[in-house]
Chains A and B, each alone.
Chain A
Amino acid sequence: MIANAVSSQFSFFASLLLFACGAAGSLIFRKNDAAANFCGNAFAIAGSIAGLISSLLVLMFDSSFTCGMGSSLPLLSFSFNVDKLSAFFIFTISLISLFASLYAIGYVVHFYKKYNVGALGFFYNTFIAGMMMVVSANHALFFLIVWEVMSLSSYFLVIYENKEKRNVKAGSVYFVMTHIGTAFIMLSFLLLYAATGSLDFSVIKENIVNIRPVIKNLVFGLALVGFGTKAGMIPLHIWLPGAHPAAPTHVSALMSGVMIKTGVYMFIRIFVDMMSDVPVWWGMVIVTAGAVSALLGVLYALTEHDIKRLLAYHSIENIGIILLGLGSALIFLALEMKPLAALGLVAALFHTLNHATFKALLFLGAGAVISETHTRNMEAYGGLIKQMPQTAFFFLVGAMAISALPPFNGFFSEWLTFQSLFAGIRSLDITVQGVFILAVGALAFTGGLAAACFVKVFGATFLARPRSEEARHAGEVALSLRTGMAALAVLSLLFGLFSGTVAHLLSEVVHSLPVFNSTEAAFTANASLFKFNDNFASVSLPLIFVSLVSVTAAVFFLVHILTKSRKVRLGCTWDCGTHLTPRMEITATGFSRSIITVFRGILQPTQQYQIEYMDAEIRYFTKANRVRLEIKDMYSSYFYSPMQDLVAKISEYVKQIQGGNINIYILYIFIILMALLLLVI
């Protein structure tokens, strides 16, 4: 047991050291692109493996560790606390970064000679190391330092391809939003310090019972906004659709898959682990925010035809689903129904793991397609399944997983989230039940709309005929990219097949938190079966998988044998006798037009026509006709733009203090000195 603790601690710090080596090595070799690429990514792979070993040791053998060392600065101590919850997040981070780095070895080749590959390796390794430290930090000030390291390195990664203006603009929005979030986080930590007298998380946890309810609610609000900005909760999400597409693809996979989950980690750490006696309205706020994020995320995703922006909006949707599970857990905690709270938390954690897996897979697939076709616009794709068959297959696995289709992992975590919401409906009183019923409706619609969106993405990208020259000349990508994607696809299937085992492990993670120490579980799960203890529901994913595969195979062979003598002839697509051009296929914009029209109240689509005539006076024959379809971004126009104007106006007023006249400045100094003297006396 102690040997395990030592080895998990050792491998954790070994991984941090390996990431540091990767960062330094990339910088050292920055003149040689290939060496920098290999050095940065190989050390990242090694670091991820060490992180995996460390987290698995903690998770399976219960060898959590705490270690800290003081520093010369007052109030700051570098203390780490890796308990099972942190270990789970370290596991997720390491898993995704392992395969993203594997993918990157082949992907970064596209940046040779154009951008500084050494800088990429440096910021990439710093970013992953920062994330690992964020989920294991035990001291508020140290947490803020590594949080800033993570945000800054991700900022530099977002603006990495700085020759495109939109990437730099997206980076600035990300920079401002993440620092606004950090400001809120700092305020909440300061309030916690004022209430409990310490910045150390473990000490805060012990003294939290003395906190006044007003301060507690204020901490909740500030932490919600601060960490919600990082997590991409609506309405704090506006940086996400710009920043995630701008970064290089393996970084987007990491940002979308794991970085936003650090916000979720801190939600769990502060609201479930540290706080006690949470009021019910906290959970209701989070459930509402989750439902709104899920629905709006998927609706905005449907309006996109830039493949990476679409995937970024889906991250917002999935964060919404995670928050549904988390919010229901908080509500059950407030009502002292701890087994159900554990269930909600298991659902949230499982969806975190699943989303990291399939979102990274989807981003890597999108990156493969983009690297071959050199455009992010889905309208220029088409027919890629014949040219990139393996990428298409892995992308299909990811699309099926995110649409929550059996037998992949997304189905089980959405099933579990549904069950925790159902549990809420049947056990509570009417006001809370109303929130849960609407949440069930939101989740049901979100699942259907996500499936619609991924039919659009997969169909427009891979099926039918190529719509542009680049798509016609695309080819299959290199082995390292395919290996990264294949591994994640296999993981999606495995997490789905063994969801019972994973649920059991997650239940242990949740029960390791002190607040759940003596609660019995609401369910039993093993490798083949997941069952609720009061027989409300049970599901067995291996059975679904086995029956799907066996019945499909049986149908196929039966039909094949019985119809052996029928011939199959190749012909043209039936087109009513006309010539089919690629322009006659459905486009991504056209596919979602119906849904946009149905939801036009929320999305507010606009259409603008611009007609150019042959003769400006006799406007009869048109020369060119342009249609511009736009979706109004509600948040920018109703919330952020007015806020921006308000801040600008206030700045105008405040500017007047800086008169420029040195006599006025001396007057200010004099007044303040007088005031201070009076205060002291």
Chain B
Amino acid sequence: MKSALIWTIQIILIPVLSPLFAGIIRKIKAGFQNRVGAKITQPYYDFWKLFHKDEVISQDASWVFKFAPYIIFAVTIIIGASVPLFTSIFSFNLLSDLLVVVYLIALATFFLALAGMDVGSPFGGFASSREMTMAALTEGGLISSLLALALAAHSTNLFSMVHSASSLSIFSFPPVLLAFFAFLIAMLSETAHFPFDNPATHLELTMIHEAMILEYSGKRLALMEWAAANKFLIFLSLGANMFFPWGLTASSESTAILTALFLFLLKALILTLFVAVLESSMAKFRFFRLPDLLLVSFILSVIAIILII
């Protein structure tokens, strides 16, 4: 009974909480602009309204356009159920492998880019081009930063990595920190935040993620935006739990679970605050400065790997 409840929470936690974190970032950014901004729960209202609207689909679109939102959303739910969130009793979960998670994310990006190209509008086309350029260059940093932790933990299973990361000595903290910075850069790139992409821009020439979903409306748009919010929360939880693994519980006592959930939310909030402050303090980089940043991420993780082994 207890484990069924824990399973349910693990599966629905990410989809349920992700709009909240999107709203929190917006609120903090509004605070930096001395505005009131929308409510924290505004994304929930947005999605509810979008699910109640009709859709307009281009006649050039094919089944790739029509089915991509479902595939992308399903992938984010599967990944969300496989990453360590608040409990560590799922170490037998075969989907929690480092490479499986990274390549499932690549699957979602693949279909997103195809959907962007499907309608034949120039915006979607060059957004797909930029998105795939960034995704290709990010994978090196993403895999290597998590690999540093995997080598320290002698396993590529995410739950095992969390277990051993919590028992690392103080001397292995600098490489973990380096790997964390590398992961942070990769996270900002994959979730389309500054300095890679502005999630709130209206200028199509500067869009990467937004331009691929310009053509979506109604329920499919809701699914795409929700999937993007899910992806952000997944990366937040990876960053929070992999590199600062204190707080995950192995017991199924309700108090332990509640504490673990609270700690998880706290860690994710701190990272969200950091991303929001970053977004309010800097401008987006010029597109051709971004590969240098991604190469920095790769080099930092290579240094971390060399220091760890």
Q: Which residues of A contact B (CB under 8 A)?
A: 382-383, 385-386, 396, 400, 403-406, 411, 415, 418-419, 422, 425-426, 433-434, 437, 440-441, 444-445, 447-449, 451-452, 454-456, 458-460, 462-465, 529, 534-540, 543-544, 547-548, 551-552, 554-556, 559, 562-563, 566-575, 580, 582, 584-586, 590-595, 597-598
Contacts and interface: CB of A to CB of B under 8 A. Distances in A.
Interface in B49-104: 51-60, 62-64, 67, 70-71, 73-75, 77-78, 94-95, 97, 99-100, 103-104
B130 A538 contact: no
Given A440-B147, A464-B117, A586-B122, A567 B157 contact: no
Contact of B75 (A411, A535, A548): A548
Nearest to B298: A441
A559 B97 contact: no
Interface of A is mostly: helix
A529 B92 CA distance: 12
A425 B309 contact: yes
B241 interface: no
B129 A573 contact: no
A396 B136 CA distance: 19
B126 A449 contact: no
Given A448-B138, A590-B129, A543 B157 contact: no
Contacts of B31: none
Interface size range on B against A:
35 or more
A7 to B, nearest CB: 39
Interface stretch (B105-113, B171-179, B262-270): B105-113
Interface in B190-212: none
Interface of B: 51-60, 62-64, 67, 70-71, 73-75, 77-78, 94-95, 97, 99-100, 103-104, 106-107, 109-110, 113-114, 117-122, 124-126, 128-130, 132-133, 135-140, 142-144, 147, 150-151, 154-157, 160, 214-215, 218-219, 223, 287-288, 291, 298, 302, 305-306, 309
Contacts of A454: 110
Contacts of B140: 441, 444-445, 448
A547 B96 CA distance: 13
Contacts of A592: 129
Given A383-B60, A425-B305, A551-B77, 11 more contacts: A385-B63, A406-B107, A422-B150, A447-B106, A536-B154, A552-B70, A555-B77, A562-B51, A563-B219, A594-B287, A595-B133
Given A405-B106, A595-B136, A543 B59 contact: no
A537 to B, nearest CB: 4
A389 to B, nearest CB: 8
A411 B105 CA distance: 13
Nearest to B108: A405
A540 B130 CA distance: 33
A534 B51 CA distance: 48
A470 to B, nearest CB: 18
B172 to A, nearest CB: 15
A537 B55 contact: no
A437 B140 CA distance: 11
Contact of A548 (B53, B60, B78, B150): B78
A585 B120 contact: yes
A586 B126 contact: yes
A426 B57 contact: no
A480 B100 CA distance: 36
Nearest to A536: B155
Contacts of A385: 62-64
B51 to A, nearest CB: 6
Given A537-B155, A538-B97, A566-B218, A444 B51 contact: no
B219 A426 contact: no
A568 B132 contact: no
A440 B288 contact: no
Contacts of A444: 139-140, 142-144
A562 B219 CA distance: 10
Nearest to B73: A555
A422 B95 contact: no
A210 B130 CA distance: 58
Nearest to B115: A463
B44 to A, nearest CB: 15
A568 B57 contact: yes
Contact of B94 (A426, A540, A548): A540
Contact of A543 (B94, B128, B136, B150): B94
B95 A570 contact: no
Given A555-B74, A590-B129, A573 B60 contact: yes
Most buried by A among B58, B129, B135, B305: B129
A437 B307 CA distance: 12
B98 to A, nearest CB: 8
Most buried by B among A382, A386, A563: A563
Given A570-B59, A584-B122, A445 B70 contact: no
Nearest to B152: A426
A529 B139 contact: no
Contacts of B77: 551, 555
Contact of A464 (B60, B97, B156, B218): B60
Given A403-B106, A404-B103, A580-B121, A440 B58 contact: no
5 contacts: A400-B107, A437-B305, A535-B160, A566-B52, A580-B121
Given A444-B140, A555-B73, A570 B57 contact: yes
Nearest to B218: A566
A455 B137 contact: no
Contact of A448 (B71, B100, B114, B139): B139
A422 B62 contact: no
Nearest to A586: B125
Contact of A445 (B51, B139, B215): B139
A452 B132 contact: yes
A425 B135 contact: no
A567 B56 CA distance: 9
B78 A591 contact: no
A534 B114 CA distance: 39
Nearest to A593: B129
A451 B143 CA distance: 15
Contact of B55 (A447, A529, A566): A566
A580 B126 CA distance: 15
Nearest to B151: A426
Contacts of B74: 548, 551-552, 554-555
B57 A406 contact: no
Nearest to A550: B74
A465 B60 contact: yes
A463 B64 contact: yes
Contacts of B58: 570-574
Given A458-B114, A464-B117, A569 B129 contact: no
A463 B59 contact: no
A447 B117 CA distance: 21
B106 A441 contact: no
Contacts of B291: 598
B103 A405 contact: yes
Contacts of B156: 419, 422, 536-537
A146 to B, nearest CB: 40
A574 B135 contact: no
A463 B139 contact: no
Nearest to A592: B129
Nearest to B109: A451
A463 B113 CA distance: 11
Nearest to A430: B306
Given A559-B70, A574-B215, A463 B136 contact: no
Contact of B95 (A434, A547, A554, A568): A547
A463 to B, nearest CB: 5
